[in-house]
Amino acid sequence: MGVTQTFDIASIPADGIGKEVVAAGRRVLDALADNSSGKFAFNWTEFPWGSEYYEQTGQMMAADGLETLKGFDAIYFGAVGWKNVPDHISLWGLRLNITQNFDQWANVRPVRFLPGIQSPLRKADTTELDWVVVRENSEGEYAGLGGRNLSGRGPGNEVALQTALFTEKGCERIMRFAFDLARTRTVKKVSSVTKSNAQQYGMVLWDETFHRVSADYPDVETESVLVDAMSAKFVLRPEDLSVVVASNLNADILSDLGSALAGSLGLAASANLNPERRFPSMFEPVHGTAPDIAGKGISNPIGAIASAALMLDHFGLHEEARLIEAAIEQTTAAGHLTQDVGGNTSTEAVTDAVVEALVRSLATV
Ligand code: NAI
Ligand code: MG
């Protein structure tokens, strides 16, 4: 039977548990395609870029790597960073190289609470919690602007500038993205996060832009919260959250807090989107390479599998994305849990359970 639609996907597992969880996500997507009655297929090309590649070549990715990636429908990424390469070199050489050059300016990071996984928040037992962090992904504190100087004056005398960049256009587009997303959710609310009392230029521009943009969305409730207060709110009043929009650094920190509250960093999914679709978008778990558990086959694959569901949403396969999410819920509810969420099931066995739940649900539709 002919396949109606084939998606070309570049997979970049990179380092540590990135390899384990990308393999798990690919298995789930392939099981979905195999059972789609020819509706779609995935054509995978795997790239060996990362810290081992650096060991051999002195580069994190091929010199023409970005040019190569441009031809793909999406990128499925693991995590990058290993002991042999300084973290700022591995991150800028591969992951940020891709997100920056492909203008993947919207980073969507849902915080999901799953059945069968105990949250450190007692409230989660009785309250329905579900929110999404929208991270400005192209500028802000990670613009890479600055420099180091005066090391020639000898030890103890060097200075460094790390400059945050806020453009009104950059603020506006991520805010409109957040408002549009809020309109698709049950609770139509956007919480904007800054530290504008202390950072009086960039973050005041952010606040003023938020105020201006919000006038175009009278149907969406808004609030502006300082980042320190928001971190407290994540813990104390998470039921008030729906869409949280924040700058690159603030949203990076808040999304780790969110996934920890849901039970583990290993659960958190993320999409780096170029909403105009001029470049491929990239889908990856939020977590890093976890050197402490890498190679043991015990990493939690759920963040990577849920990221694959976000990729399906990007392809317009919304029903299939929901099926993957439902299969994840059935898996955790049935107690197939890796050690980070209190179980002792292996990466592979959790992935088996997700695939089985998925195939079962496909057989009944
Ligand atoms: P990490 O996320 O790798 O690990 C933090 C803790 O969470 C560790 O105890 C780890 O075992 C646990 N953990 C993370 N993911 C897990 C999973 N799927 N299942 C079970 N447990 C999990 O963060 P860390 O230790 O700060 O960074 C390690 C390396 O990863 C560094 O080189 C860092 O630069 C890199 N990194 C890369 C990222 C990326 O490529 N997107 C993001 C964050 C860190
Ligand atoms: Mg992070």
CA of 86 to the centre of ligand 2 (A): 16
Strands 221-226, 189-194: pairing kind: parallel
3-state SS string over 176-240? HHHHHHHHCCCCCEEEEEECCCCCCCHHHHHHHHHHHHHCCCCCCEEEEEEHHHHHHHHHHCHHH
CA of 15 to the centre of ligand 1 (A): 10
Q: Any residues with Cβ below 6 Å from ligand 1, and which?
A: 17, 21, 79-81, 87, 91, 95, 265-266, 284, 287-293, 299-300, 303, 338, 340
* Dihedral over Cα of 130, 273, 348, 34: its sign: positive
Dihedral pair phi/psi, residue 11, rounded to 5°:
-105, 135
Neighbouring residues of 157: CB distance < 8 A, sequence distance ≥ 6 = 150, 151
Atom of ligand 1 nearest to the CA of 90: 34
Q: Which ligand is nearest to the CA of 109?
A: 2
pLDDT at 365: 61
Name the CATH superfamily for 119-262: Isopropylmalate Dehydrogenase (3.40.718.10)
Atom of ligand 1 nearest to the CA of 299: 19
CA of 80 to the centre of ligand 1 (A): 9
Q: Which ligand is nearest to the CA of 268?
A: 1
Host H or E run for residue 284? strand 281-285
Q: Which ligand is nearest to the CA of 91?
A: 1
**How far is 90 from 94, CA to CA, in rounded Å?**
6
Domains 1-112+265-365 and 119-262 are alike in CATH topology: yes
pLDDT at 363: 86
Q: Looking only at Cα atoms, what is the longest distance across the chain?
A: 72
pLDDT at 364: 77
CA of 16 to the centre of ligand 1 (A): 9
Neighbouring residues of 171: CB distance < 8 A, sequence distance ≥ 6 = 136, 205, 206, 209, 210
Fold classified for 1-112+265-365: Isopropylmalate Dehydrogenase (3.40.718)
Query: What six digits make up the tokens of 99?
Result: 């997100």
Coil, helix or strand at residue 304: helix
Nearest protein Cα to ligand 1, atom 38:
288
CA of 50 to the centre of ligand 1 (A): 15
Sorted by where each begins, the domain ranges of the chain are 1-112+265-365, 119-262
CA of 98 to the centre of ligand 1 (A): 19
pLDDT at 20: 98
How high is the mean pLDDT in each 10-residue block of the chain (365 residues)?
Answer: 87 98 98 94 98 97 97 98 95 95 97 95 91 97 95 96 97 98 97 95 97 98 98 96 98 96 96 98 97 98 98 97 97 98 97 97 81
